[in-house]
Amino acid sequence: MIKAPEHISSIKPYIPGKPVEELERELGISRSVKLASNENPMGPSPLALKAIRNGLKLLNRYPDGSCYYLREVLSGKLQVRPDQLIFGNGSNEIIELAVRTYIRSGDEAIMAHPSFVVYSMIVQAAQGKSIAVPLKDWRHDLDAMASRITDKTRVIFIANPNNPTGTINTREEMDRFMKKVPEGVLIVSDEAYHEYVESPEYADSFTYLRAKNDILILRTFSKIYGLAGLRIGYGIAQASIIQEMNKVRQPFNVNSLAHAAAIEALRDEIHLNKVKQINTRGKKFLYGELRKLGVTFIPSEANFIYVVFREHVSGRVYDEMLKQGVIVRPMGPTSIRITIGLQAENRKLVKVLGKAIK
């Protein structure tokens, strides 16, 4: 039997949750609430849905891999040149393209821990070495990350806001960090949740892009735009970086329905603002209810909340909540991550969580 090389066989695969329908069948429950994957509970813009319906008749044609029309819309919106943009099957693929382009066997990539687990998986698949730096006060410790840079460092991942904690790094922290990064190191600023951020201290990564730094900014349509099922994301960087990454990108990596929906999602500011408002109200409500329950949580700048228990009870809490039809994401023995839902979903979560922690 053929065997995969050790750097592949030793990867711990990402374990997705079961489909909601299957969980309901197994547990004999109905009308469950999924608050585990940081999805937009309102769903996509009506304009995006209309674009999807209109695009169905063209599914016999290959998609435009360059995303020409979306590229034009985004370049105007972001005030960057069209050749500074790259598109992928979710921002996950952009991460993979960056690693495949810039990391060779034995090269190092620095990242925080805990942060998005896909970083280390992709680095290992490329035979690179992940350097995990613990969070400080639940945020990226950028000074410590800078201190781990060596002549083997090729990529540094910064999730801002961070997943799973929902915390951000400030403009001052990023300015100080960027001055310590030598040439030849790519900073990947993963901003999947940036549209949710309300803090005025949030770092503007475009400042470093305009300063010609080696930075790749990641954005996605999976979160606030509600297009997770279509898988489309994009990256912004210097044209020379994008040019190299395009050499390893598959020609038809973004499907035509995602392309059409993303264009209209960008144009629907009314829907976007509604999603933000619902998230803000839901976050404030959950903060208050979690405090009443005596539950420790980390204030979030995203659409989820990281809950921390004093004991190793997250598995039991998760199981108890699941039996009552509420799905959250266990993040370790002492923590769970809760997506902010619609108000009825938030109320059910609070009720079920209160029973589970007794």
Give me the domain span that covers residue 22.
Answer: 17-43+270-356
Average pLDDT over residues 331-357: 97
Say what the alpha-carbon torsion angle 166, 171, 176, 178 is, to the nearest 10 degrees.
80
- Residue 103's pLDDT is 98
- Residue 13's pLDDT is 76
Domain end marker among 267, 301, 321:
267
End-to-end CA distance of the chain: 50
- Residue 15's pLDDT is 67
Residue showing tokens 């598959």: 250
Residue showing tokens 């209309």: 50
Domain end marker among 210, 244, 267:
267
What's the rounded Cα separation, in Å, for the pair 191 and 334?
Answer: 26
Could you tell me if 51 and 181 lie in one domain? yes
**With bands split at pLDDT 50, 70 and 90, how would you rate the model's confidence at 26?**
confident
Could you tell me if 185 and 275 lie in one domain? no
Q: Greater confidence, 16 or 157? A: 157
Classify residue 163: in a domain, yes or no: yes
Classify residue 7: in a domain, yes or no: no
Looking at the structure of the chain, the number of domains it has is: 2
Could you tell me if 80 and 132 lie in one domain? yes
| Structure confidence by residue, pLDDT tens digits, 66-79 | 999 999 999 999 99
Classify residue 139: in a domain, yes or no: yes
Q: Model's pTM, two decimal places?
A: 0.95
Mean confidence (pLDDT) of the chain: 96
* Cβ 294 vs Cβ 310: under 8 Å: no
In angstroms, the Cα distances linking 25 to 15, 28, 29, 34, 315 are 20, 5, 7, 15, 21
Could you tell me if 224 and 274 lie in one domain? no
**Residue 58 DSSP symbol:** G
Classify residue 245: in a domain, yes or no: yes
Q: Closest Cα to residue 262, out of 299, 225, 291, 293?
A: 225
* Cβ 234 vs Cβ 259: under 8 Å: no
CATH label of the domain that carries residue 281: 3.90.1150.10
Classify residue 5: in a domain, yes or no: no
Classify residue 142: in a domain, yes or no: yes
Domain end marker among 267, 300, 328:
267
Q: Taking the CB of residue 237, how many other CB atoms lie within 10 A of it?
A: 27
Residue 52 has pLDDT above 80, yes or no: yes
* Cβ 338 vs Cβ 307: under 8 Å: yes
Classify residue 203: in a domain, yes or no: yes
**With bands split at pLDDT 50, 70 and 90, how would you rate the model's confidence at 206?**
very high
CATH label of the domain that carries residue 94: 3.40.640.10
Could you tell me if 28 and 51 lie in one domain? no
Average pLDDT over residues 300-317: 96
Residue 107 has pLDDT above 90, yes or no: yes
What are the two backbone dihedrals, phi and then psi, of residue 297, each rounded to the nearest 5 degrees?
Answer: -140, 160
Could you tell me if 287 and 300 lie in one domain? yes
Could you tell me if 110 and 233 lie in one domain? yes
Could you tell me if 280 and 236 lie in one domain? no
| Structure confidence by residue, pLDDT tens digits, 117-163 | 999 999 999 999 999 999 999 999 999 999 999 999 999 999 999 99
Residue 11 has pLDDT above 90, yes or no: no
Residue showing tokens 């408002």: 277
- Residue 17's pLDDT is 64
| Structure confidence by residue, pLDDT tens digits, 268-290 | 999 999 999 999 999 999 999 99
**With bands split at pLDDT 50, 70 and 90, how would you rate the model's confidence at 110?**
very high
Could you tell me if 84 and 58 lie in one domain? yes
Could you tell me if 69 and 181 lie in one domain? yes
Could you tell me if 38 and 129 lie in one domain? no
Could you tell me if 127 and 201 lie in one domain? yes
| Structure confidence by residue, pLDDT tens digits, 227-256 | 999 999 999 999 999 999 999 999 999 999
Classify residue 247: in a domain, yes or no: yes
